[in-house]
């Protein structure tokens, strides 16, 4: 028995037939594209066993892929911790009643949000030797760049999370005699953390992916070892290396994305906060576009 939704009517027989036709046509197009890719790879002999053989040997993983993966995870983990600290400090500073704290914090956040991350990494990488002397500053440049950029984004998430708590919560706290730092620490932040957790984890997914920019300054990460060193060691294995490294990145990001989805659902079900979950950075624009499209339809 068909049922109608508040947003749209249940499709009739013609609409269901049309949707089924579109589905079949879409699947056929995807299969055709995959077959085209397969044929082109086959013409270049990218499916030969000798090309894929290195990825079945343990030495390839222990010598190249796993050290690169470790470098990626080390940079991502350290940058994530520092970005969270940076975001918390500057996010709360932007909420200060003192202009001499609020305005400089806002300038720092807006400046580092506006600078492209790759340019920031380049600047730190080439500036460090002239300031601190010779040495390998690739790791420091990647971590510092990720910290400053993602920390600035997280500062806005923290600020939005605190402001998302209804004003009545703080007014009630002031009414019973709590000071401002007590209101922030005991009332606002516990609720804001729950609300902004999905957005924080989503930004950490972005941070993990952005570690790949260390490839440009020869930082030993997963992309560098898998996409640059491996094809040089095993000639002709560029496409297999790209596929293997891509699958690893997809697995890492899917795990973090699944965590973000779980946290978002948990925060929506939580009764410990009166604040709504904060949308991940960039989601507002997409939501607005979809809303306009729905209105047009």
Q: Between these two residues, 61 and 193, which has the higher pLDDT value?
A: 61
The answer to whether residue 18 sits within a structural domain is: no
The answer to whether residue 16 sits within a structural domain is: no
Q: What's the whole-model pTM score?
A: 0.74
Give pairs for 143-146: CB < 8 Å, separation 24+.
Answer: 143/75, 143/78, 143/79, 143/82, 144/120, 145/117, 145/120, 145/121, 145/213, 146/75, 146/76, 146/79, 146/83, 146/117, 146/207, 146/210, 146/211
pLDDT band at residue 232 using 50, 70 and 90 as cut-offs: low
Residue 127 pLDDT > 80: yes
Number of domains in the chain: 1
Identify the pLDDT of residue 41.
80
87-108 pLDDT, tens digit per residue, is 999 988 888 888 898 899 999 9
- Domain residue limits at 256: 57-279
Sign of CA dihedral 16, 18, 24, 29: negative
Identify the pLDDT of residue 36.
92
The answer to whether residue 39 sits within a structural domain is: no
Q: How far apart are the first and last CA of the chain?
A: 26
The answer to whether residue 7 sits within a structural domain is: no
The answer to whether residue 49 sits within a structural domain is: no
Can you give the CATH number for the domain in which 257 is found? 1.10.3720.10
The answer to whether residue 4 sits within a structural domain is: no
Residue 16 pLDDT > 70: yes
The answer to whether residue 14 sits within a structural domain is: no
Identify the pLDDT of residue 201.
82
Residue 61 pLDDT > 70: yes
The answer to whether residue 290 sits within a structural domain is: no
If one counts every other C-beta atom within 10 angstroms of the C-beta of residue 186, the result is 11
Burial of 41 per CB tally in 10 Å (0-12, 13-18, 19+): middle
Identify the pLDDT of residue 90.
93
Per-residue burial over 109-133, b = 16 or more CB atoms within 10 Å of its CB, e = otherwise:
beebbeeebeebbbebbeebeeeee
């Amino acid at each position: 028995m068909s049922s109608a939704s508040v947003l749209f009517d249940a499709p009739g027989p013609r609409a269901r037939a049309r949707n089924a036709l579109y589905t079949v046509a879409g699947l056929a197009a995807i299969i055709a594209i995959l077959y085209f890719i397969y044929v082109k790879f086959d013409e270049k002999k990218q499916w030969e066993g000798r090309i894929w053989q290195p990825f079945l040997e343990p030495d390839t993983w222990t010598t190249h892929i796993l050290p690169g993966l470790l470098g990626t995870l080390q940079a991502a983990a350290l940058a994530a911790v520092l970005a969270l600290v940076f975001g918390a400090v500057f996010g709360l500073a932007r909420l200060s009643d003192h202009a001499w704290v609020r305005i400089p914090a806002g300038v720092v956040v807006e400046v580092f949000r506006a600078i492209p991350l790759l340019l920031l990494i380049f600047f730190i990488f080439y500036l460090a030797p002239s300031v601190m002397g010779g040495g390998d500053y690739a790791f420091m440049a990647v971590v510092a760049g990720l910290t400053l950029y993602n920390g600035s984004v997280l500062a806005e998430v923290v600020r939005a999370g605190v402001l998302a708590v209804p004003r009545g919560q703080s007014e009630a706290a002031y009414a019973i005699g709590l000071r401002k730092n007590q209101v922030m620490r005991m009332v606002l932040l516990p609720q804001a953390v729950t609300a902004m957790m999905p957005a924080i984890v989503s930004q950490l997914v972005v941070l993990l992916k952005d570690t790949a920019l260390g490839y440009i300054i020869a930082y030993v990460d997963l992309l560098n070892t898998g996409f640059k060193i491996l094809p040089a060691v095993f000639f002709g294995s560029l496409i297999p290396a790209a596929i293997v490294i891509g699958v690893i990145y997809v697995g890492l990001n899917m795990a973090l994305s699944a965590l973000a989805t779980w946290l978002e659902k948990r925060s929506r079900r939580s009764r410990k906060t009166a604040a709504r979950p904060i949308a991940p950075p960039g989601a507002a624009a997409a939501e607005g576009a979809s809303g306009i499209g729905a209105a047009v339809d």
